[in-house]
Structure 1
């Protein structure tokens, strides 16, 4: 696999030599972004048993998605001026942030050992909430020898230092009805996850009926937010982590509850727990 940083520097130097007025740092960042998109799926082939490789691929994918989310949060903080570095402009901080997170992603992509991911990061798959993932990653990196051997892991540890401050950027452009349509289009390859998703959708239908009958609107708005975040998930692990306990029997009992307000409250608690686990 090509070293993205070396290749980006090489491209930036050529452009700088041709156009002297180009800002090298900005050009390097643009080249790095281009190479990153171009080689987004280019990762080292994992080594290990068939079972190990399959498991490690899921872990690696989740770890990179986690890093992507951290980057989005940092970018938003820079944009809103919640994060500042002395004597650096907003543009300079943005480019610095991009370079930092690409270094972290490249470190992850370059690992060949399936066992490494399983031994060190397997429990990331058990959490849906960003702050719980961050706490787990931070604790793992704090005492690991490989963190001391690579500055890139130290950079990731620094970004997970205060997990309670991490607020995931939600896509508020997606409406409730759009989220329900998206959920119908998302298909999972295994029967278990598909069944969990169908059970979740059944709960959503019961919730919708309860909303029509309810006189008290407490919990409704927040419940809808949690439902939207759930229904747009393309990662089956999200459903397995947060909603595996929903069975047909529980759904039938749920339907029998007479109070619409109680149904709404229970739906709120169910989705809150599922999203934040």
Structure 2
């Protein structure tokens, strides 16, 4: 049998990046109905009416669904900062329309858009909302690339919003109503609103705590950050040497904030380690 060797001159010619761009630009554009259907295919059925009313929703949708193209234009840092600015004025339905994960399922887009796209009752003041229900959920999750994720949490009545971003090295950054919070602490994975005023999130506990250890999951002993959105004030509560806060839990009971070392202690009816006033004097 005779084997034929392809001459090097006949080998497929590699196409340069510049030539690929030129070829793409020279192609005639597709009809508008094709381009429009491709661009807005996830928004046409149920979110179109809402997006007509929300310029922020349209902007968030395009930034989230075309993130690679925006990052190509802006770079990672500018893309993040601009997206944070948009999220600082977003509403829950903007996040749902942008196909973020939600309270019901953080790893997939809204599964009940025919309900969640409807207007929320002005009398609805529920602290925690899990859809499908008019006005959408209260918490959303975005997967923004390799090892980058964010959480957008709305307080009761949508009075305030918290945006929590974790980057590739698990460094967290937090913005509440557009202002940075907790810049000098190592933030936990997720935060939550207690009501329409107080936001809480775990942070690393003190290094000199007698029970402090560090492992793959982070610190064993943790502190808790409490942000008062009405006063734009933040405090970090640290456990004393006698307190073993592994997963500190803050709950609001009437006019008090109660701090427990973990959920098990709270559910068992134990006395809180700390109490703080939850109303103004």
Relative to its length, the structure with more helix (as a share) is: 1
TM-score, L = length of structure 1: 0.30
Higher relative CO (Cα under 8 Å, sequence separation at least 6) belongs to 1
Instruction: Compute the TM-score of the two structures, normalised by the length of structure 2.
Output: 0.30
